[in-house]
Amino acid sequence: MQELTGEITRFKKERKAVILAHFYQNPEIHEIADFVGDSLGLSQQAATTDAEVIVFCGVRFMAETASILSPDKIVVLPVAGAGCPMADMVDASQLEKRKQELPDATVVCYVNTTAEVKALSDVACTSANAVEVVESLPKDKSILFVPDKNLGRYVASRTGKQMTMWEGFCPTHHHLKREDVLQAKEQHPEALVLVHPECRPEVIELADVVSSTTGIINYAKQSKAQEFIVATEIGILHPLRKQCPDKKFYMASDKLICPNMKLTTLEAVHSALVNLEPRVEVPKEIRERAIVCLGRMLSNNNTQVDVRI
């Protein structure tokens, strides 16, 4: 493995590449990455670098977002088949049809969507800013939230707004049941429960903290508590234990594993750097519309989102 990581470092320099790793990747991928984080934050970080190549260790929609924000860089996804089941639960044709049925609705898309869906949406959001984005919309505007019904329900509960939910979900988070968390709480009664908002409402009800992946890590770092039950993908344990070595973390279930996130290997990263394949490119006409959707979110700082843009 040491020889392989050395080769990755060498080719990274030769290619003038930056390696991005989502929190849900395996620990060995974290260790060779330049940046580890949530999907949008990684794409934003890569856009600020002078790298000519982005190797995105994640899933396809993340690489697409990197391509949207860095159209002049080569974007490579080490494993072509690494997709996101939730993102695949809504496509452009389905969304176009629903928009015709709800012509007055503002379409809020979770960043976990394809570039084509972003191009058809009015404003994007992340799990960290979804509440803020929805609160910033005009009060008289109806909202269509795609594709994650669990995140949408959480946002509706926080904002009090009426929202039409797409029937999508993250299979990994949706798999977690209330009974799983109750069992974990019984085993670790002193632990705080940290929950990602992609989980079911009945799981969120048991949370001490509901937050994005980055938010969960930041909370654990700042909290005086010493034990935590974690309700998100298991990959988060590596950065949590690395950044909080004196604290204890327990998974809410041993089934919180995203198989697509685990497809990336060191061998695949090495191959991606050597061959600059498989590439992810967003067509110009889709990118130009998708960047407007993302731009409304990125420019939204507690001010009203201009849905007329």
For 154-195, the pLDDT digits (tens) are 999 999 999 999 999 999 999 999 999 999 999 999 999 999
- Distance (Å, whole) CA 133 – CA 303: 9
Q: Tell me how far CA of residue 230 lies from CA of 58, 169, 220, 252, in angstroms.
A: 21, 19, 10, 6
Which of 155, 154, 198 lies closest to 174, judged by CA? 198
Taking residues 226-239, what's their average pLDDT? 98
- Distance (Å, whole) CA 264 – CA 273: 13
Taking residues 66-90, what's their average pLDDT? 97
Q: Which amino acid type is present at position 255?
A: K
Query: How far separated are the first and last CA of the chain, in Å rounded?
Result: 50
Taking residues 129-137, what's their average pLDDT? 96
Does residue 300 register a pLDDT over 80? no
Contacts of 95 (CB under 8 A, 6+ apart): 107, 117, 120, 121, 146
Query: For position 2, what pLDDT does the model report?
Result: 83
Q: Could you tell me which residue, 152 or 3, shows the higher pLDDT?
A: 152
Taking residues 123-135, what's their average pLDDT? 97
Query: For position 5, what pLDDT does the model report?
Result: 92
Taking residues 7-12, what's their average pLDDT? 95
Conformation bin of residue 276: beta by default, left when phi > 0, alpha when psi is -120 to 50: left
Query: For position 302, what pLDDT does the model report?
Result: 41
Query: For position 141, what pLDDT does the model report?
Result: 87
Does residue 306 register a pLDDT over 60? no
Does residue 308 register a pLDDT over 60? no
- Distance (Å, whole) CA 57 – CA 76: 9
CB of 174 within 8 A of CB of 147? no
Ramachandran angles phi, psi of 54, nearest 5°: -115, 120
Percentage of the chain with pLDDT > 90? 94
Q: Which amino acid type is present at position 29?
A: I
Q: Please, what are the domains in the chain? A: 2-84+261-282 (3.40.50.10800), 87-170+287-298 (3.40.50.10800), 176-251 (3.40.50.10800)
For every residue of 99-119, DSSP letters joined together read HHHSTTPEEEEESSS-HHHHH
The residue with tokens 């750097």 is 273
Percentage of the chain with pLDDT > 70? 97
For 244-263, the pLDDT digits (tens) are 999 999 999 999 999 999 99
Does residue 140 register a pLDDT over 90? no
CB of 206 within 8 A of CB of 252? no
CB of 65 within 8 A of CB of 39? yes
Ramachandran angles phi, psi of 106, nearest 5°: -85, 125
- Distance (Å, whole) CA 288 – CA 102: 24
Average pLDDT of the residues of the chain: 95
